[in-house]
Amino acid sequence: QQLEATWNQHRAETEKLKNSLRDLNDKIEEAKRKKNLLIARAKRAEAQARIAETMSSMSEKSAFEAFSRMETKIEDNERRMLANVEIDEEFSGDKLASDFKVLEKGAGAASADSQLLALKQKMGMLPAGAPVSNRQIGAGASSDEDIAHAEIEDAPEEQKKLP
């Protein structure tokens, strides 16, 4: 009987120890979860602080200023490139060829006439301020009115009087 009482007492103490061990394990697990939660919260707070710092140093105005600076740099580079091309053309003799190409495209028919008149005046072939003749038909003119007008002006005086 005494053995049975001792056995019961040991059994009760063993159950108590098992329960205490389970409670301790639960507390350890909860402490680990809390530790992980605190670490996650600390990392989140640190990330938020970095984001806030970045956002405060980079306002909308500074972002647009950066784009404006990039645009200015690109435009400057384009202007330099065009200037270099023009300089290369001047020194390589391609300028004359490119002028002929422009004239061939017909982009400067009237301009070519005015340039020719200006050169003639400069060389003294025409008096300064001489009236520009309207009798010429521009390059590529196809208007019947322009052609008829030019024909009438070029006709001898006797034909102009005829109906």
Give me the domain span that covers residue 51.
Answer: 2-57
Compute the average pLDDT of residues 10-37.
95
Compute the average pLDDT of residues 35-52.
93
Q: Are 110 and 117 in contact (CB under 8 A)?
A: no
Within a domain: 28: yes
Within a domain: 33: yes
Q: What is the mean pLDDT of the chain?
A: 77
Please give the Cα distance from 161 to 117 (Å, whole number). Answer: 32
Is 157 or 34 the better-scoring residue by pLDDT?
34
Compute the average pLDDT of residues 108-123.
77
Within a domain: 109: no
Is 102 or 53 the better-scoring residue by pLDDT?
53
User: What count of Cα atoms within 13 Å lies in the side-chain half-sphere of residue 99?
Assistant: 10
DSSP at 129: T
3-state secondary structure 10-49: HHHHHHHHHHHHHHHHHHHHHHHHHHHHHHHHHHHHHHHH
Within a domain: 35: yes
pLDDT in the model for residue 66: 79
Specify the number of domains making up the chain: 1
Burial class (CB in 10 A: 0-12, 13-18, 19+), 104: exposed
pLDDT in the model for residue 134: 46
* Tokens at 117, concatenated: 């008149």
Share of the chain above pLDDT 70, in %: 63
